Amino acid sequence: EVQLLESGGGLVQPGGSLRLSCAASGFTFSSYAMSWVRQAPGKGLEWVSAISGSGGSTYYADSVKGRFTISRDNSKNTLYLQMNSLRAEDTAVYYCAKVADIVVVPAAIHDYWGQGTLVTVSS
């Protein structure tokens, strides 16, 4: 059974940093790309970042480019999102999602999702 468990969320001041983790199990982690998708309170879904199965290719939404860094440790079956220079508009539940391919393709399907971790940016 595929399981994705996010952690690392919390309250942070504007301009601060936070590192999210997503522990994966139930599938061969290195064989699949992964994504982070966020959902602001009461709002819709927004794709944030993606990484290939090898970790060699990374992708970012313009809204987080230069501030967020996605990475993965295939030996630990764990996905990360380093978030710097956080803004109030980054407040959201952050979901990690498994992609149904090893590479990140335009037709990327997010076939499994974690339960999410809440990040609140406020003074």
Partner 1 sequence: QSVLTQPPSVSGAPGQRVTISCTGSSSNIGAGYDVHWYQQLPGTAPKLLIYGNSNRPSGVPDRFSGSKSGTSASLAITGLQAEDEADYYCQSYDSSLRDWVFGGGTKLTVL
Q: Return residues touching partner 1 (CB under 8 A).
A: 35, 37, 44-47, 50, 61-62, 95, 97, 100, 106-116
C-beta of 95: minimal distance to partner 1 in Å? 6
* Beta-strand pair 68-73/78-83: antiparallel
Integer Cα distance of 10 and 85 in angstroms: 15
C-beta of 114: minimal distance to partner 1 in Å? 6
Q: Which is nearer to partner 1, 80 or 112 (CB)?
A: 112
Integer Cα distance of 117 and 24 in angstroms: 15
Q: Which is nearer to partner 1, 50 or 92 (CB)?
A: 50
C-beta of 78: minimal distance to partner 1 in Å? 18
